[in-house]
Amino acid sequence: MDKVILAYSGGLDTSVCLKWLQEKCNLEVVTFSAELGQGLDFDELRRKALDTGASKAYIEDLQEKFVREYVFPSLKANAIYEDRYLLGTAIGRPLIAKRLVEIAEMEGAKVIAHGCTGKGNDQIRFEVGVASLNPELKVIAPLREWSLGSREEEIDYAKTHNIPISATRENPYSIDKNLWGVSIECGALEDPWVEPAPEVYLLTADPGQAPSEPTYLEIYFEEGLPRKLNGEDYSGVELIARLNEVGGKNGIGRVDMVEDRRLGIKSREIYENPSGTILYRAREELEALTLDREMLHFKKLISRKYGELIYDGLWFSPLRESLDAFVNESQKNVTGTVRLKLCQGRCEVAGRKSPYSLYDERLSTYGAEDAFDHQAAKGFIDLWGLPMKIRAMRQKK
């Protein structure tokens, strides 16, 4: 019997996929589940996979790898999609795709499967990722091929096939969670005019209900990456978890947006990313202090492109690798400390300092120590405005 490696979360969709791959495709199913900070119960998940018919269940804690190889590079690039989305879900997909390929190679499987539908971005990220790493592997997406369709029919299928479903918490929303954020869609949120109910949010307090007393944070960065919080060393995983906690308490990191999926559909999305919002804000300040104007402005263009590559499933691409080389070079002097003030949904800068600061008080001061050559300004302005002056003179004639 041929083997398939299934990306398995233990939810209804992937459980139904597991059964379907055995029944309809006559495949031996090996499951793979990645702990990326969503909080998996390893024992329960393994039992569930095996009870549903898997021959073997891989479950791996990949948080450290996730942060080091995926989240941090995208953070250094300030990657962002459509000006708002910090790519929490999207940045986890290439790592999962890579592990699926590695496990398939280890297990001698020729097929990979996932539980994405035919409308979203995640199917693209998984499949383009797999194709980029091993073009020989085949991919099956049961929920895309299968004509069953509705949620109710899926539940019926699960019931008649003895798939254990947790009927206790029938969540009306579709939720994807990892260390880098939460993505929430479907249900009442499908109407973009409807305000999200308070219980939609999992990580963040309502800014209006958050403490009115501000929380101050000091984050120390080395070559663009956060290393210390309030003077204490932190690993990447610990730091992100801690910032999610403090940020969440202060109502930081909520996004409600209408976004353009790769397949042309607009969709309404709710995101929560307290740690990312805080780190992006802090890094912006540190870059403003340590990068020259040309670099700073050019890097903004890179953020957008880098964000699109992640969003569009092109992580394993020559362009992303080349942009990484540029971004790493740009971060050599992005070292220093940023002081932030969190309060009721706002994350504001309170101070910044760096041994590589390009800020020169003798140049910017209006006081007596002023070292700026005021006369040089006149010559500069004459030449800068010269083309406009010539044009204006022509028009007058």
Q: How far apart are the first and last CA of the chain?
A: 87
Q: How far apart are CA 363 and CA 172, in angstroms?
A: 58
Per-residue string for binding with ligand ARG, 218-257, x by CB under 6 A?
----------------------------------------
| Distance in Å, CB of 155 to ligand ARG, minimum | 18
Q: Please choose, out of 106-114, 127-135, 172-180, 373-381, the segment that lies near ligand ARG by the rule CB under 6 A.
A: 172-180
Contact between 259 and 212 under an 8 Å Cβ cutoff? The reply is: no
One of 35, 154, 185, 285 touching ligand ARG (CB under 6 A):
185
User: Total residues at the site for ligand ARG (CB under 6 A)?
Assistant: 11
Beta carbon nearer to ligand ARG, 259 or 272: 259
Residues in the chain, total: 397
Give catalytic residue positions.
13, 93, 122, 174
Closest CA to 288 of 342, 234, 349, 247: 349
Residue 121 near ligand ARG by CB under 6 A: yes
Q: How far apart are CA 393 and CA 383, in angstroms?
A: 15
User: What is the footprint of ligand ARG within residues 76-95 (CB under 6 A)?
Assistant: 89-90
Tokens of 97: 């795709």
Q: Please choose, out of 102-110, 159-167, 168-176, 377-385, the segment that lies near ligand ARG by the rule CB under 6 A.
A: 168-176
User: What is the footprint of ligand ARG within residues 268-297 (CB under 6 A)?
Assistant: 269
One of 176, 272, 285, 287 touching ligand ARG (CB under 6 A):
176
- Angle of CA points 358, 350, 256, to nearest 5°: 105
Beta carbon nearer to ligand ARG, 8 or 234: 8
Beta carbon nearer to ligand ARG, 185 or 285: 185
Q: How far apart are CA 150 and CA 154, in angstroms?
A: 6
Closest CA to 145 of 52, 30, 17: 17
Beta carbon nearer to ligand ARG, 35 or 259: 259
Residue with tokens 């947006």: 257
Residue 183 near ligand ARG by CB under 6 A: yes
Beta carbon nearer to ligand ARG, 9 or 337: 9
If DSSP states are collapsed to H, E and C, what string results for 240-304?
HHHHHHHHHHCCCCEEEEEEECCCCCEEEEEEECHHHHHHHHHHHHHHHHHCCHHHHHHHHHHHH
Contact footprint for ligand ARG (CB under 6 A): 89-90, 121-122, 174-176, 183, 185, 259, 269
